Amino acid sequence: GENVEQHPSTLSVQEGDSAVIKCTYSDSASNYFPWYKQELGKRPQLIIDIRSNVGEKKDQRIAVTLNKTAKHFSLHITETQPEDSAVYFCAARARGFLSSGSARQLTFGSGTQLTVLP
């Protein structure tokens, strides 16, 4: 099955600096890569996603890049602010079915605790 590794597990940056979180995946059939932000005690919320037919996607201060050859994708946050402090999760999913007939499901990384220091 799919295996998603996420690094680093913790990241501290000064306010205004950039933050980069990296994920690698194992299943070359994976074609959907979302990123979720989870504040303490709250639900994860989708912040950006990318599909395998594009290499980069931006939304204001957030961008995601995808390298299908190397099987890794990254989240980039520029001009970080204290409210960016949270746990960020990457995930990957392949199209298609398992041998059981079930659709493939998202596999999540272990998360990165981002702290933006004022």
Partner 1 sequence: DGGITQSPKYLFRKEGQNVTLSCEQNLNHDAMYWYRQDPGQGLRLIYYSQIVNDFQKGDIAEGYSVSREKKESFPLTVTSAQKNPTAFYLCASSPGTGSQISGNTIYFGEGSWLTVV
Which one among 14, 69, 99, 102 touches partner 1, defined by CB under 8 A?
A: 102
Residue closer to partner 1, measured from CB, 62 or 78 = 62
Residue closer to partner 1, measured from CB, 27 or 78 = 27
> Whole-number minimum distance, CB 16 to partner 1, in Å?
27
Cα dihedral 13, 18, 19, 24 in deg (nearest 10): -150
Residue closer to partner 1, measured from CB, 86 or 104 = 104
76 contacts partner 1 (rule: CB under 8 A): no
What Cα–Cα distance (Å) separates residue 95 from each residue in 2, 37, 51, 103? 12, 24, 11, 8
DSSP structure class, residue 100: T
Choose the binding region for partner 1 from 14-22, 43-51, 68-76, 78-86 (rule: CB under 8 A). Answer: 43-51
24 and 72 in contact (C-beta within 8 Å)? yes
Among candidates 63, 73, 57, 65, which has minimal Cα distance to 24? 73
Contacts to partner 1 by CB under 8 A: 6, 31-32, 34, 41-46, 49, 51, 89, 93, 95-97, 100, 102-106, 108-111, 113
